[in-house]
């Protein structure tokens, strides 16, 4: 996806399904961010570097086992091409073995100028690729996806909204989940309400309609702490 304006953040996506992009990243806030030059992306088709006339990208696992593995002699040239276009880009690989994606990691990635996201398929990629290119693995949860493309979109969506120029009002970021901290605990955002004051017999908490800003802030903090403790208890269990 091309943009004539100077971009502050660039992501290169390596995938065997380039038609999946930009997908949701071309819509709403992320899409407007591309349009106004806050960030940019391009897509590298790994199959362009595939072997034989069939453009094969995978091989059987050494040592046996079910499923196929993406070959290093295919991924290597694809990564080299992306690095040639964007020297110094940090490489990320969505993987269950990776560091859990959280708000702090999203902020770290957003502070970088350029990144590459390698989308795996089949059973995964050859470990030598990870070692050779110092690939950083990121997990988006305790479940398995068909490939890294959806995870890459989740990672980028969490990152690009933090880039100046993507959100119309950057101040809204300060009140979101994981931005407030009490006793070292990152809080989840409190419950949210809007009009009408009564809906299907359910009412907005009176304190939110009181106009007493001090009491409203106390309620928000108390509710954030309650929701966060409940979530932590679920996670531990």
- Check pLDDT > 90 for residue 210: yes
pLDDT digit string, tens, across residues 5-44: 444 899 999 999 999 999 999 999 999 999 999 999 999 9
Is residue 205 within 8 A of residue 222, CB to CB? The reply is no
Tokens of 187: 């809080």
Q: Record the pTM.
A: 0.84
DSSP-assigned beta bridge partners for residue 40:
10
Q: CA quadruple 138, 153, 104, 86: dihedral positive or negative?
A: positive
Pairing type for strands 198-199 and 202-203 reads: antiparallel
- Check pLDDT > 50 for residue 2: no
Mean pLDDT for 144-156 is 97
The dotted CATH code for 176-236 is: 1.10.1270.20
Residues of the chain with CATH 3.40.1280.10: 10-160
Gap between the Cα atoms of 113 and 203, Å rounded? 46
pLDDT digit string, tens, across residues 35-56: 999 999 999 999 999 999 999 9
Q: DSSP string spanning the chain?
A: ---SSPPS-EEEEEES-GGG-SGGGGSHHHHHHHHTTS-EEEEEEGGGG-BTTTTB-EEEPTT--SSEEE-HHHHHHHHHHHHHHSTT-EEEEEEEEEEEP-HHHHHHHHTSSEEEEE---TT-B-HHHHHHTTPEEEE--SS--SSSHHHHHHHHHHHHTTSBTTBS-GGGGGGSTTS-EETTEEPPPPP---S-SEETTEE--GGGGS--HHHHHHHHHHHHHHHHHHHHHHHH-
State CA 177 to chain mean position distance.
16
CA distances from 100 to 95, 137, 150 (A): 10, 9, 16
pLDDT band of 88, cuts 50, 70, 90 = very high
Residues of the chain with CATH 1.10.1270.20: 176-236
Is residue 166 within 8 A of residue 29, CB to CB? The reply is yes
pLDDT digit string, tens, across residues 111-145: 999 999 999 999 999 999 999 999 999 999 999 99
Return the CATH fold of 10-160: Alpha/beta knot (3.40.1280)
């Amino acid at each position: 996806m091309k943009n004539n304006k100077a971009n502050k953040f660039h992501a290169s996506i390596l995938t065997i399904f380039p038609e999946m992009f930009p997908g949701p990243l071309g819509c709403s806030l992320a899409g407007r961010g591309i349009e106004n030059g806050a960030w940019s992306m391009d897509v590298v088709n790994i199959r362009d570097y595939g072997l034989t006339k069939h453009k094969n990208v995978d091989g059987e696992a050494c040592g046996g086992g079910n499923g196929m593995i993406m070959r290093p002699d295919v991924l290597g040239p694809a990564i080299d091409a992306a690095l040639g276009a964007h020297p110094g880009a940090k490489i990320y690989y969505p993987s269950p073995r990776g560091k859990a994606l959280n708000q702090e990691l999203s902020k770290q990635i957003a502070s970088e100028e350029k990144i590459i996201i390698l989308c795996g398929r089949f059973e995964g990629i050859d470990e030598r690729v990870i070692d050779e290119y110092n690939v950083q693995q990121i997990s988006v949860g305790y479940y398995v996806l068909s490939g890294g493309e959806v995870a890459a979109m989740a990672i980028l969506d969490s990152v690009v909204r933090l880039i100046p120029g993507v959100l119309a009002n950057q101040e809204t970021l300060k009140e979101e989940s994981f931005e407030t901290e009490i006793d070292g605990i990152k809080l989840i955002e409190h419950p949210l309400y809007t009009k009408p004051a009564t809906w299907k017999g359910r009412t907005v908490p009176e304190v939110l309609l009181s106009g007493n800003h001090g009491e409203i802030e106390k309620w928000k903090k108390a509710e954030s702490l309650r929701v966060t403790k409940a979530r932590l208890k679920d996670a531990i269990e």
